Structure 1
Amino acid sequence: MSLVNTKIKPFTTQAFKDGKFIQVSDTDLAGKWAVFFFYPADFTFVCPTELGDLADHYGEFQKLGVEIYSVSTDTHFTHKAWHDSSETIGKVKYTMLGDPAGVITNNFGVMREGQGLADRGTFVVDPNGVIQAVEVTAEGIGRDAADLLRKIKAAQYVASHPGEVCPAKWQEGEKTLAPSLDLVGKI
């Protein structure tokens, strides 16, 4: 079952951000756009390339009012050790959620059964805590932060312009569509 248009489930966890351990819960997201970016494990191969790509674009996400939460089933202690030992992960300024009990990973339906690891899953959550976009890829397929930014801009545009939708490859400032009987069969 798709989680699109469902509300995120409650959670509380420990995280690593800005050199500190902090507690984060679902209530911290109220009124804000958020991305939950699940990945299998710290100290691996594709994962640091993805987290580094997000780090390189983090300022752009912040300009859109979007907070990034990377999530793996590692602890917040492991996140700190990875951050301190990897040049790529050392660039990360967003919140790295620890989920060793798998609560958040299971809440979002991306826990690999019997492995204790998350799939590569990306979830865009609106200010009401409702999931607006979901992407899940196989182990060897890394994600692209620039395309995630495009999807967030589209989600934000649609949220603030009822009655309009964004077509494929839509970029900010481009023409949108207003679904109506007049458009049926003409696209």
Structure 2
Amino acid sequence: MNKIHKIRSELWRWSNFSFRFCFWFLVMAFSEPRLMLGELAPDFTATALVDFQFEDLTLSTYRGKYVVLFFYPADFTFVCPTELVAFSDRIAEFKVMDCEVIGVSTDTHWVHLAWVQTPRKMGGLGEIRYPLVADRNTEIGKKYGVYCQGDGNCFRGLFIIDRRGILRQITINDMGVGRSIDEVLRLVQALQYTDVHGVVCPANWKPGNETMHADPAKAIAEYFSKQA
């Protein structure tokens, strides 16, 4: 009886192992690769609406500039227009930092055009002063890991890409929560400051605030002594 029990236990152990391995293998095989900070941002070419005209936009042509690439769920919705207008209203602040802004959704370029041609008081966007990319085949959203299979739309992913085309910031919001333009500007400012000065920026850092050197022996004590 004990021998039968041992054999049954052994079979159960191996069957569980096989199931776990197969499950892991399937997940790894069919999942989109996860983006990591410090890697090259996935390149793409797609039709974009730029100043009421259709153009082919290729991300890699922006090398030499910072880029804020943000995804939003859909045109003619609720939270999305508040974000798109907020970015557009403050585009000059990004331009001063040699930073371009690009919006992406799974809508067609024709829908983008209809949206910007509709006045804001009538539920449209009016003029938007940066490109809106049409990710109609959803390939861009999938590359960046923000495509929602169930809805056919993208989550509110935001990616800051530096002058070398390297990913420096990844933020993904749920669809119901809009993003802070103030925070996006602050992040670009902080990343550019670290690029130039070789220091690190503490919590809530803004231009003009104290920074820190990456020296574990002295940095923390010096920083907090200045805050006292």
Structural mapping, 1:7-156, within 5 Å: 7-87=40-120, 89-156=125-192
Q: Secondary structure at the match of 2:117?
A: helix
Give, in whole Å, the separation in 1 of the partners of 2:171 and 2:65: 20
Larger radius of gyration: 2
What secondary structure does 1:155 align onto? Answer: helix
Q: Greater RCO between the two (CA within 8 Å, min separation 6)?
A: 1
Q: Deviations over 1:57-112 (max 9, x none)?
A: 11100111111000001111111111011426213110101100111111111001
Q: Give the structure-2-normalised TM-score.
A: 0.78
1:181 match: 216
Task: Give the ranges of 4+ consecutive aligned residues of structure 1 lying more than 4 Å apart after TM superposition.
Answer: none
Q: Determine the C-alpha separation between the residues in 1 that align with 2:101 and 2:206.
A: 21
How far apart, CA to CA, are the structure 2 residues paired with 1:153 and 1:2? 23
The whole-number CA distance in structure 2 between the counterparts of 1:28 and 1:77 is 24
Offset at residue 31 of structure 1 (A):
1.1
Contact 1:21 1:76 survives alignment (8 Å): yes
TM-score (norm 1): 0.94
Residue type at the aligned position of 1:166: C
- What is the aligned-residue identity percentage? 35
User: Aligned partner of 1:80: which letter?
Assistant: L
Q: 5+ unaligned residues in a row in structure 2: which ranges?
A: 1-33
Aligned length: 186
Does residue 165 (structure 1) correspond to residue 203 (structure 2)? The answer is no
| 1:121 alignment partner AA | G
Q: How far did residue 185 of structure 1 move?
A: 6.0
Q: In 1, are the aligned partners of 2:104 and 2:134 still within 8 Å (CA)?
A: yes
Cα RMSD over matched residues? 1.5
Summarize the Cα distance change of 1:86–1:112 in structure 2 as closer, same or farther, 3 Å threshold.
farther
Match of 1:169, as an amino acid? N
* Residue segments in structure 1 that go unaligned for 5+ positions in a row: none
Structure with more of its chain in helix, by fraction: 2
**In the alignment, is the contact (CA less than 8 A) between 1:57 and 1:146 conserved in 2?**
no
